[in-house]
Chains A and B, each alone.
Chain A
Amino acid sequence: MNVVTPFEGIGASVRRKEDLRFLSGRGQYTDDLNRQGQTWAHILRSPHPHARIRGIDTRAASAMPGVLAVFTGKDMAEAGVGGLPCGWLIHNKDGSPMAEPPHPVLAVDKVRHVGDPVAVVVAETRAQARDAAEAIAVDYEVLPAAATMAQALAPGAPQLHEGAPGNLCYDWHIGDKAVVDAAFARAHKVATLELVNNRLVPNAMEPRAAIGEYDRGTGDYTLWTTSQNPHVIRLLMGANVLHIPESRLRVIAPDVGGGFGSKIYHYAEEAIVTWASGRVERPVKWTADRVESFMSDAHGRDHVTKAELALDQDGKILALRVSTLANMGAYLSTFAPCIPTYLYATLLAGVYTTPAIYCEVKAVFTNTVPVDAYRGAGRPEATYLLERLMDVAAAETGIDRIELRRRNFIRPDQFPYQTPVALQYDSGNYHATLDQALQAADWAGFEARRAEAKRRGRLRGIGVSTYIEACGIAPSAVVGSLGARAGLYEVGTIRVHPTGSVTVLTGAHSHGQGHETTFAQLVADKLGVPVAQVEVVHGDTGKVPFGMGTYGSRSLAVGGSAMMKAMDKIIAKGKRIAAHLMEASVEDIEFERGEFRVAGTDKKKTLTEISVAAYVPHNYPIEELEPGLEETAFYDPKNFTFPAGCHVAEVEIDPETGRTQVVNFTAVDDVGRVINPMIVEGQVQGGVAQGIGQALLERCVYDENGQLLSGSMMDYTMPRADDLPPVGVATHTTLCTHNPLGVKGCGEVGAIGSPPAVINAVVDALKEYGVRHVEMPATPERIWQIINANRPRMAAE
């Protein structure tokens, strides 16, 4: 009988294996887990943006029903608990290291933002813990706060940290300023733009949660946590904060409901529940409520930038000069310093042949929640700036915005292409993605749609963005030289079981991305094992050898590559076993999709026959080969990967209310080889949703005193289904040249390419009002203010 199995390998839209459990409510998220004898922690947080703690009286709280313990920052410091570490060191222009002030797990003598943890109550129930926390009396001396970067940098500003004079974390730069200044001096035209990249609150669907468990019998600790990278948490928390050796600390990140970067970092609550479980000798659980998430999850973006573009008379870019203020918030979150530097300024060449670039970045402490990577991290900020600036330059030079981009694109024959800001792009075809997107979006037919909308009283606009990003992070030696305090390789283990099914252990972590499917497809493609027989294990330091986790669209490019290397080792060993069994020489054994053949004969052995032989080594080359069929590989990438593409947005504005609707969105992305087109489509759509959110809706607002105004869903505008247009997703592939799969990554492209496309469309829609820039988010009121302010001018004309 000939059984036709559907193709499940690379390129197949295999349905996501994990969705059955997610959609049927059978996922096991941290908050779903409850441990024997479990207690609850409630964290008392600062209501003040900036205050000195004169004293904390915990007596009443300690006497409340059900309370097991109350701990303050002083208690933890006295017990030798360290501060939260920062994983990246940036150097100032003068070569000195950045200011790296201490970040205590619980505030010790000062609080520095609303939500800063001050004390923890451990009680029998969650409600008891919360009741008792209300009975803690903290004697605050309220200090003036620096809520914005402008306030923090002003003379005489309130100082957040002793070790950071002027609230400056670092003053960094990249590029040759003299060369850039000289290019500006001979420019034909200079386009200038000042803009704000709005602060965002990531808002993963699952709030953060953690359970710490101390085993009295062994002295070992286990932490369940909502993390994107459990091994990194084990390393940082074990080595820097709690001083627990890896061998006695297990970190498990079970099902995690979205991260977008906000669950990369080592957070105070993880250390608190782990340490407290040792003190009360019972498991301690904490789950954030949404309001807590708003004031304790790391925020994203928050730049204020001035950018200038120098062009010659043909519209060729001569140079780019950028000056950015980047908000760090009150403390340095794990990767905060590298976001506005090496993940931002290095992307300022974009897809263009700009020969000279200079960028300086001042990172500033303010009395706000720490800021760190959020979907795209640094690259959306660079892309937004560049793609807005290209439109401004087009308006200033009178050259069509598409033509201006084309004139400056790096051509397909110029790869590998070295930019003036450190990166070397390996492959791409920006003309092709642009052409394909313009075609799909019917750019040519737009004016008719604009005219039709006008008859309905709507202002319609179209915008384009041609972006690039660097992901697949990252070559360890390169990032090490730039200040990273970790390597950024990945680890994969392939365990072929005796009967031929496979378990994959990966150091990447899936929190919505569909790794259990995509990674199984790699095994199906390479080893010929059906997807249903491949188990993907991730998120547990007790099971997976090591790993750096998932962020920066690195899982497939780096983690998948490690798996491919491990599978190469499996095949190499399998060939030796096959050679033995079929009495052939190893050189004559060929392997394809699950079968080892002796070249030129019809002799063959299946992978299952080989795995049986490996685990039941009765007839086996036992002298020269170990039994078993399991291999591990560490893969350190040779370069970043460079997804790129073109996004086109079409918007309609109601001029009476200022409300903007995105009515059409087209994304054509080059993400390298596509393993599962359906998953790529979903990733791009999700990213675009967040990009539209940033462009039109989302805005984290502090008042001038440092109180968080957008502290819940009542005031923070998350995009909803009816805010979003149909998003057309297509790919145009050029392969990554330096990883075994040719993949580039698709997790962030949507959020990177889309915001400038949307704002360019908004500006285009408002063309008749003489508008050259609109800040994000383009809220109804903001648009109405612009229309209202420019109406008299129109009437006068």
Chain B
Amino acid sequence: MYEFAYHKPSSVADAVKLLSADPEARPVAGGHTLLPALKHRLARPTALVDLSGIAELRGIRREGDKVVVGALARHAEVASSDVVKGAIPALARLAGTIGDVQVRNRGTIGGSVANNDPAADYPAAVLGLGATVVTDRRRIAADDFFTGMFTTALEPGEILVAIEFPVPEKAGYAKMKNPASRYVMTGAFVSRGPQGVRVAINGAGPCVFRQAEMEKALAANWSPDAVANIRQSPDGLNSDIHGSAEYRAHLVTVMAKRAVADAG
């Protein structure tokens, strides 16, 4: 780890001020992605702006036909939240399978979504439910938010404040884990609701993406069988020592099928 300055603001406005004053400063939430990178000297921010003291970023609440999850909500909180379990049980289940107990007690939804790791869980739910990302300055639709590998629509210094999930009729999630890291090798989040039928695939490609053909098939016939014979092309998918693009493409179908079964 290299030396850095440390700030702990108590409002979003102060945090934004600190970040805009120093382009090399970085926000830190649970630290479970950023701190390992610092320890390995892979990142060298001049300052860390610790968001954990900002009350506006906390909390999980139901607002009409939406569930609003504050950026600082930890995975364990989402997993055990009665609001989430009641309205979007698949989201609570997803949160409960991220990493291990320690990770779930530190990592936050805001950090995960802002980081947009292709192998992360939450991006599939955000895209698969057609959620809206709320920041300190605007609202961004999920379809416009995830722009590429580890990149999002967030501008430098922009803080993710909350995520608004529309409550679906049905939603389900299934994933195959990378055997070593236990991150997602290939996952599928499916839903049917106010945003129509959505199928979001994570882990397989450089960035979470929607599977249009499967969405169409499920819109016509909501059942595992509807997607069982839809083949994902391996072109452009990730390939590593744990899974080739061809294998991941195959898993897209298997996980989509299982996600629909999970949704019921």
Q: Are the CB atoms of B180 and A715 closer together than 8 Å?
A: yes
Answer whether residue A710 sits at the interface, using C-beta atoms and an 8 A cutoff.
yes
Once A291-B40, A701-B241, A715-B241 are accepted as A-B contacts, the answer to whether A784 and B181 lie under 8 Å apart by CB is no
State which of B22-30, B85-93, B247-255 sits at the interface with chain A. B247-255
A788 and B180 CA atoms in complex are apart in Å by 23
Interface of chain B residues 39 through 85 with chain A (CB within 8 A): 40-41
Q: Which residues of A contact B179 (CB under 8 A)?
A: 697, 717, 779-780
Interface: A657 (CB within 8 A): yes
Chain B contact-residue range equals 10 to 19
Report A774-794 residues with CB < 8 Å from chain B CB: 779-781, 784-785, 788
For A127, the chain B residues whose CB sits under 8 A away are 1
| B100 (CB) vs chain A CBs: closest residue | A720
In chain A, what residue has the closest Cβ to B243? Answer: A781
The distance in angstroms between the C-alpha atoms of A130 and B242, with both chains bound, is 32
Q: Are B241 and A709 in contact (CB under 8 A)?
A: yes
The answer to whether A788 and B176 touch across the interface, beta carbons within 8 angstroms, is no
| A699 CA / B243 CA spacing, docked (Å) | 14
The answer to whether the Cβ of A659 comes within 8 Å of any Cβ in the partner chain is yes
User: Are B254 and A714 interface neighbours, CB within 8 A?
Assistant: no
- Is B244 located at the chain interface by the 8 A CB criterion? yes
Most interface-central of B179, B180, B241 (chain A CB within 10 A): B179
Q: Which of B180-203 contact A (CB under 8 A)?
A: 180-181
Contact yes or no, A715 B247, CB < 8 A: no
Determine the chain B residues whose CB is within 8 A of the CB of A291 once the complex forms.
Answer: 40
A650 to chain B, nearest CB (A): 20
Q: Within the assembled complex, what's the spacing in Å between the Cα atoms of A714 and B251? A: 20
Within 8 A of A (CB), among B218-258: 240-244, 247, 250-251, 254
In chain B, what residue has the closest Cβ to A134? B41
Q: How far is the CA of A697 from the CA of B244 in the complex (A)?
A: 16
Flag if A781 contacts B247 (CB, 8 Å). Answer: yes
Contact in complex: B181, A657 (CB < 8 Å):
no
Whether B180 pairs with A717 at a CB distance below 8 angstroms is: yes
Least CB distance from B179 to A in Å reads: 5
- B contact residues around A130 at 8 Å (CB): 41
Q: Is A443 an interface position by the 8 A CB rule?
A: no
Report chain A residues within 8 Å CB of B176: 657, 659, 780
In the bound complex, what is the Cα–Cα distance between A716 and B180 (angstroms)?
6
Q: How far is B249's CA from A785's CA once the two chains are assembled, in angstroms?
A: 13
Q: Do A784 and B241 touch across chains, with their CB atoms under 8 A apart?
A: no
In this complex, what residue of A is CB-closest to B253? A656
Q: Which residues of A contact B254 (CB under 8 A)?
A: 656-657
- Residues in A with CB closer than 8 Å to B40 are 291
Over the window 298-320 of chain A, the binary record of Cβ atoms lying under 8 Å from chain B Cβ atoms (1 yes, 0 no) is 00000000000000000000000
| B180→A784 contact, CB < 8 A | no
Contact of B250 among A131, A697, A718, A784 (CB under 8 A): A784
B 1-24 binary contact with A (CB < 8 Å = 1; else 0): 110000000000000000000000
If A127-B1, A291-B40, A780-B176 touch, does A713 touch B251 (CB 8 Å cutoff)? no
Task: Evaluate contact between A714 and B181: CB separation under 8 angstroms.
Answer: yes
- How many A residues have CB within 8 A of the partner chain? 25
Q: A291-B40, A659-B176 are in contact. Are A699 and B241 (CB under 8 A)?
A: yes
Within 8 A of B (CB), among A114-131: 127, 130-131
Checking B2, B242, B247 against A785 with a beta-carbon cut-off of 8 angstroms, the contacting residue is B247
B248 — nearest CB in chain A belongs to which residue? A781
In the bound assembly, the distance between CA atoms of A255 and B243 in angstroms comes to 39
Within 8 A of B (CB), among A638-677: 656-659
Q: Are B250's CB and A714's CB within 8 A?
A: no
How far apart sit A788 and B246, CA to CA, in the bound complex (Å)?
11
Q: From the candidates B41, B180, B181, B242, name the one contacting A781 in the complex (CB within 8 A).
A: B242
Closest A residue to B247 by beta carbon equals A781
Query: Is A714 touching B180 in the complex (CB atoms < 8 A)?
Result: yes
CB-CB nearest in chain B for A722? B182
B244, A781: Cβ atoms under 8 Å? yes
Report chain B residues within 8 Å CB of A779: 179, 242
How distant is the Cα of A781 from the Cα of B40 in the complex, in angstroms? 30
Minimum Cβ distance to chain A for residue B232 (Å): 14
Q: CA A291 – CA B39 in complex, angstroms?
A: 11
Interface residues of B in 138-171 (CB under 8 A from A): none
Shortest B107–chain A CB gap in Å is 16
User: Chain B: which residue is nearest A696 at the CB level?
Assistant: B179
Min Cβ gap B254→A in Å is 5
Cα(A659)–Cα(B174), bound, Å: 15
Q: Which residues of A contact B251 (CB under 8 A)?
A: 657
Report the nearest B residue to A788, measured CB to CB: B250
Q: Is the CB of B250 within 8 A of A713?
A: no
Residues on the B chain within 8 Å of A715, using CB: 180-181, 240-242
Chain B hits for A659, CB < 8 A: 176
| Assembled-state Cα–Cα distance A291/B243 (Å) | 22
Q: Are B247 and A784 in contact, with the CB atoms below 8 A? A: yes
A130 CA to B180 CA in the complex, in Å?
A: 28
Give every chain A residue within 8 A of B250 (Cβ-Cβ): 784, 788
Contacts of B247 in A (CB 8 A): 658, 780-781, 784-785
A784 to B185, CA, bound (A): 14
Most buried by B among A699, A710, A784: A784
Distance (Å) between the CB of A731 and the closest chain B CB? 32
CA distance A713 to B242 in the complex (A): 13
Rounded to whole Å, the gap between the CB of A500 and the closest CB of chain B is: 48
CA A717 – CA B240 in complex, angstroms? 14
A299 → B minimal CB distance (Å): 16
Report A667-718 residues with CB < 8 Å from chain B CB: 697, 699, 701, 709-710, 713-718
Cβ–Cβ < 8 Å partners of B181 in chain A: 713-715
Candidate in B41, B180, B242, B254 with the most chain A CB atoms within 10 angstroms: B180
Chain B residues, CB < 8 A from A718: 180
Q: Are B241 and A710 in contact (CB under 8 A)?
A: yes
Q: How far is the CB of B231 from chain A (nearest CB, A)?
A: 12
> Complex formed: what's the CA distance from A130 to B241 in Å?
30
Q: B3: nearest residue on chain A (CB-CB)?
A: A127
Residue of B nearest to A714 (CB): B181
With a 10 A CB-CB cut-off, give which of A130, A780, A781, A784 has the most chain B CB atoms. A781
Bound Cα distance from A127 to B1, whole angstroms: 8
Q: In the docked arrangement, what's the CA distance between A373 and B264, Å? A: 52
Chain A residues with a Cβ under 8 A of chain B: 127, 130-131, 291, 656-659, 697, 699, 701, 709-710, 713-718, 779-781, 784-785, 788
Ranked 5 nearest A-B pairs via Cβ: A717-B180, A714-B181, A717-B179, A781-B247, A656-B254
For this complex, 26 residue pairs linking A to B, each with C-beta atoms less than 8 Å apart, are A127-B1, A130-B41, A131-B2, A656-B254, A657-B254, A658-B247, A659-B176, A699-B241, A701-B241, A709-B241, A710-B180, A713-B181, A715-B180, A715-B181, A715-B240, A717-B179, A718-B180, A779-B179, A779-B242, A780-B176, A780-B179, A780-B243, A781-B242, A781-B244, A781-B247, A788-B250
Other A-B pairs, 15, CB within 8 Å; known A657-B176, A780-B243, A788-B250: A130-B41, A291-B40, A658-B247, A659-B176, A697-B179, A699-B241, A710-B180, A710-B241, A716-B180, A717-B179, A717-B180, A779-B242, A781-B247, A784-B247, A785-B247
